[in-house]
Amino acid sequence: MQWQTNLPLIAILRGITPADAHDHVAAVLDAGFDAVEIPLNSPQWEQSIPAMVNAFGDRALIGAGTVLKPEQVDRLAEMGCQLIVTPNIQPEVIRRAVGYGMTVCPGCATATEAFTALDAGAQALKIFPSSAFGPDYIKALKAVLPADVPVFAVGGVTPENLAQWMKAGCVGAGLGSDLYRAGQSVERTAQQAAAFVKAYQEAVQ
CA angle, residues 5, 2, 137, in degrees to nearest 5? 100
pLDDT grade for 165, boundaries at 50, 70 and 90? very high
Per residue in 32-53, pLDDT (tens digit) is 999 999 999 999 999 999 999 9
Nearest to 83 by CA among 71, 68, 67: 67
Average pLDDT along the chain: 97
Give φ, ψ of 9 to 5 degrees. -125, 130
Q: Which CATH number is 9-204 given?
A: 3.20.20.70
Domain ranges of the chain: 9-204
SS3 14: coil
pLDDT at 2 over 90: no
Instruction: Please list the active-site residues.
Output: 37, 126
Nearest to 142 by CA among 163, 162, 166: 166
pTM of the predicted model as reported, rounded to 2 decimal places: 0.97
